Amino acid sequence: MVGVDRIGEGPRSVIVVGAGIVGLCTAWFLQERGVEVTVVDRDGVAAGASWGNAGWVSPALTIPLNQPAVLRYGLRSLFNPSAPLHIPLRADVGLARFLATFARHCSHASARRAVHANQPLNADCVEAFDVLVANGVDAPVTDSDIVALFGSDAHADELRAEIEILERGGLPVQTRRLRGTALRDAVPLAAPEATVALAVQQQRFVDPGRFVTALGQAVIERGATMRTERVVDVSTNGRVVVRTVRGEDLTADAVVLATGAWLPDLARRWVRMPIRAGRGYSFTVPVDRPMPGPIYLPTVRVACTPYQGAMRVAGTMEFRGPDDPVVPARVNSIIDSAAQFLHGVRWEARSDVWVGPRPVSADGVAVVGQVDRGLYVAGGHGMWGLAHGPVTGRLLTEQITTGKQPEALRALDPLR
């Protein structure tokens, strides 16, 4: 256990259920406050959505999912298995409830609320990564522009208009429009069909698996107990009790549930906002040209990141069960979509095919905070769990150790 002296009468011990980036960041910042931490995860560190995502720390691209255009697109994509947004047509009462609530929140007013809720996280997310790296998390964080490719100025204008929503919410964003030689210099992999680009400046990226693994190692080295087992129930009769699949009861002064797309399994009796797994796919491909930085293909919703001398390709939003296997057709649809914008990529040599369940809330806003005496939740970040994980952990630690809800967490209240 390391860090400053414990504050006031705050908890001396906390169990964090979930060893993804949100859970581990909460554990790390609790340790900074002198709290004894036990981390419990059914599969271990970085086993869920934290491993294979695009790795972007990009506040300028945290564009709300719950917009009217997304709803219209989703309805059109129902019968198109290759669409970036895929909703399987099958009987699922929980999914139907989620989609109905999501549709109700697909409005300009709800999108503005999501921007407002995310703004404090966006404002401090880069600095929160700096704190971790400066204090023992041994993994690089790379500064870079993220360059979005388009076939027309009209499509580039659409992304710029979406970014303006964030700017109106208070987030400063710098962009440059690129053509010709400037575009090819920025993205040597760009195909001739990519005639215009928008460079979103001063963003970052990481190797997410490496970063979260290093974060987990740092938490262990600072004194945490790490347990690999599945939690099946949580009760709050006087003292918070976590029950494992083997029937063992674990107790602490407080418990944090940070289990990503599996959060409803443990928290549904407290959290009313529907949360579902919005599964994202990724794979790695060799490239024949340099890749100076991340590439975004907004019209097909594909993100590409330099990764171990090759390129990680990530995309799609698929509403299936979090434990469902890879659907090969989704991988093929990503390749078909991205190949029109990128040349010099050996798509047939792909490896590390992965699917991870991102926890998507029906109103586009994460659920972070206290739900009962001694019990807290942190999840529902959707596509931005990596970027917002460290700042979420810091803010939730403040609430746990002081008993006061930070202003930045009020819009994220899990009891809303």
CATH number (domain holding residue 314): 3.50.50.60
pLDDT at position 5 is 44
Looking at residues 98-114, what average pLDDT do you find?
A: 93
pLDDT band at 4; cut points 50, 70, 90:
very low
The answer to whether residue 318 sits within a structural domain is yes
Q: What is the pLDDT of residues 37-65, one digit of tens each?
A: 999 999 999 988 899 999 999 999 999 98
- pLDDT of 66: 87
The parent domain of residue 145 ranges over 13-412
Residues 6 or more apart whose CB falls under 8 angstroms from that of 1 comprise: 31, 34, 35, 36, 37, 222, 223
Tell me how far apart the alpha carbons of residues 25 and 15 are, in angstroms, rounded to a whole number. 13
Residue 319 has pLDDT above 80, yes or no: yes
Residue 8 in domain: no
pLDDT, one tens digit per residue, over 183-222 is 999 999 999 999 999 999 999 999 999 999 999 999 999 9
Residues 149-165 have a mean pLDDT of 97
**Structure-token pair, residue 174:** 């710098």
| Distance from chain centroid for Cα 97 | 22
Q: CA 361, 408, 7 angle in degrees (round to 5)?
A: 115
The angle subtended at Cα 323 by Cα 95 and Cα 82, nearest 5°, is 65
Q: Which of 4-13, 293-302, 400-409 has the lowest mean pLDDT?
A: 4-13
Handedness of CA 387, 393, 396, 402 (dihedral sign): negative
Instruction: Summarize the confidence of residues 149-166 as an average pLDDT.
Output: 97
Read off the pLDDT of each residue in 300-306 and give the average, rounded to a whole number.
96
Q: What is the pLDDT of residues 222-279, one digit of tens each?
A: 999 999 999 999 999 888 999 999 999 999 999 999 999 999 999 999 999 999 999 9
Residue 3 within any structural domain of the chain: no
Q: Supply the pLDDT for residue 3.
A: 45
- For residue 69, pLDDT over 90 is answered with no
- At residue 160, the pLDDT reads 97
Query: Is the Cβ–Cβ distance between 334 and 316 less than 8 Å?
Result: yes
Mean pLDDT of the chain: 93
For residues 278 and 300, give the distance between their C-alpha atoms in angstroms, rounded to a whole number.
16
Closest-CA residue to 285 (of 340, 337, 352): 352
The mean pLDDT of 115-126, rounded to a whole number, is: 97
Q: Rg of the chain over CA atoms, in angstroms? A: 21
In a domain, residue 173? The reply is: yes
**Counted domains in the chain:** 1
Cα-based torsion angle of the residue sequence 157, 163, 168, 174 in order, rounded to the nearest 10 degrees: -100
Mapped onto helix, strand or coil, the DSSP state of residue 376 is strand
Task: Flag whether 282 is in a domain.
Answer: yes
Helices (H), 33-92: 68-77
CB atoms within 10 A of CB 5: 6
pLDDT of 189 reads: 98
Residue 6 in domain: no
Say if CB 277 and CB 382 are below 8 A apart: no
Pairing of strands 351-361, 275-285: antiparallel
Tokens 């210099």 map to which residue? 185
Q: How far apart are the first and last CA of the chain?
A: 34
Amino acid at 363: D
DSSP 272-327: -S-EEEEEEEEEEE-BSS---S-EEEGGGTEEEEEETTEEEEEEEEEES-TTPPP-
Is residue 5 included in any domain, yes or no?
Answer: no
Given a cut of 70, is residue 335 above it in pLDDT? yes
Answer yes or no: is 7 within a domain. Answer: no
pLDDT reading at 394 higher than 90: yes
